[in-house]
Amino acid sequence: MRELLELLEQDARRPVSELAPILKKSEYEVEQDIKKLEKDKVILAYNTLIDWEKFGDDHVTAMIEVNLTPEREVGFDAIAERIYRFDEVRTVYLMSGSFDLMVIIEGKSLREVANFVAKRLSTIDGVTATRSHFMLKPYKKDGVIIHDEERDRRLVVSP
Partner 1 sequence: MAETSIDWNERLSTSVRSIAPSGIRKFFDIAAKMEDVISLGVGEPDFVTPWPIRESCIYGLEQGYTSYTANRGLIELRQEIANMYAREYDLHYAPDTDILVTVGVSEAMDLAMRALLEPGDEVLIPEPCYVSYAACTTLAGGVPVAVPAKLENEFRITAAELEQYVTPKTKVLLIGYPNNPTGAIMTRQDFEQIADFAEQHDLIVISDEIYGALTYGDEPHACFAAMPRMQERTVLLNGFSKAYAMTGWRIGYAMGNPAIIAAMTKIHQYTMLCAPVTAQVGAIEALRHGEKARLKMLHEYDRRRRLIYDGLTKLGLTCFEPKGAFYIFPDITSSGYTSDEFAEQLLQTEHVALVPGTAFGACGEGHVRCSYATSIDKISEALTRIEHFLKHHKK
For binding to partner 1 (CB under 8 A), which residues are involved?
3, 7, 11, 14, 18, 21-24, 150, 152, 154-159
Q: How far is the CB of 22 from partner 1 (least distance, A)?
A: 5
Q: How far is the CB of 58 from partner 1 (least distance, A)?
A: 32
Q: How far is the CB of 13 from partner 1 (least distance, A)?
A: 10
CA distances from 141 to 82, 138, 144 (A): 26, 7, 5
Q: How far is the CB of 97 from partner 1 (least distance, A)?
A: 27
Output 21 or 70, the one with its CB closest to partner 1: 21
Which one-letter amino acid corresponds to residue 114? A
Output 19 or 66, the one with its CB closest to partner 1: 19
Contacts 24+ apart (CB under 8 A), 75-82: 76/100, 76/101, 79/124, 79/125, 79/126, 79/127, 82/124
Output 44 or 156, the one with its CB closest to partner 1: 156
Which one-letter amino acid corresponds to residue 115? N
DSSP β-ladder status, 140-141 and 101-107: unpaired
Which one-letter amino acid corresponds to residue 9? E
Output 6 or 40, the one with its CB closest to partner 1: 6
The full length of the chain comes to: 159
Output 25 or 82, the one with its CB closest to partner 1: 25
Q: How far is the CB of 150 from partner 1 (least distance, A)?
A: 6
Q: Are 93 and 102 in contact (CB under 8 A)?
A: yes
